[in-house]
Amino acid sequence: MPRTAKKERKKLEIIKTACKLFAEQGYYNTTIPDIADALNMSVGNLYNYFNSKEELAKYIMQYSSKLLGEEIKKINEIDISTREKVFLLVKRFIEIAEENPELIDYFLRVFLSNREVFSEGCEGFLCVQEVVTEIMLFLEEGVRKGDLRNQDLFVAFVSIMGPLGGIVFLKGEGMLMKEPIEYADELAENIWRALKSD
């Protein structure tokens, strides 16, 4: 395996472990030695990958944004109707959340709860740019084709992301009666109704 690929794989391992610890113990209660310990790594070696806890925290957001952004990009590029795209988007989001529960936990318990950590270099949409960009492209295309209403960008944006965030939050709280994926079509129908042009 080439060195960079190996390094990337190791980074991914660090992210997954760090995510879990941050979400479970809280951002401030988790130290770099804790993370290194959990990974059977020396602290010095961990610093080869990330210069600080803050850098790691931001990188996790960028990584998650890339992961989700690339998936939405794929959907954006498929030649299907806008309605079908909404359904696919909801389904893929829930699948990704199920595949990476630690990222969702991290997003809800660290990113949204410790904004001060992200105030420099991650402010606004900077660390979640890929997701925001792809959602914007999806909305713009839908409006241009006449399928979606030309409404305020932020209202449209939260009409998509709100329900998605909500359902994975409820899952995390153990409140759902069914598996999240079983709610996908109903959720998608609601989002579609909130966005469609007539």
Which residues contact another protein by CB under 8 A?
123-126, 129, 132-134, 136-137, 139-140, 143-144, 148, 150-153, 156
Closest CB 76 distance from another protein, rounded Å: 9
Measured from the Cβ of residue 70, the count of other Cβ atoms closer than 10 Å reads: 12
CB 102 within 8 A of CB 19: yes
Beta carbon nearer to another protein, 24 or 123: 123
Between 49 and 157, name the residue whose CB sits nearer to another protein: 157
Q: In angstroms, what CA-CA distances link 98 with 49, 101, 126, 164?
A: 27, 6, 25, 12
Cα 195 to its chain centre, rounded Å, is: 21
Q: What is the DSSP letter of 78?
A: S
Nearer to another protein, 10 or 149 (CB): 149
State whether residue 148 is helix, strand or coil.
strand
Residue with Cβ nearer another protein (19 or 61): 61
Enumerate residues 6+ apart whose C-beta is below 8 A from 94: 164, 167, 168, 180, 181, 183, 184
Based on CB atoms, which residue is closest to another protein, 10 or 83? 83
User: Residue 194 CB, nearest distance to another protein (Å)?
Assistant: 13
Q: Tokens 């990222």 map to which residue?
A: 103
- Nearest 5°: phi and psi at 132? -60, -45
**Minimum distance of another protein from residue 149's CB (angstroms):** 8
Burial 34-66 (b: 16+ CB within 10 A, else e): bbbeebebeeeebeebbeebeebbbbbbbbbbe
CB-nearer residue toward another protein: 129 or 190: 129
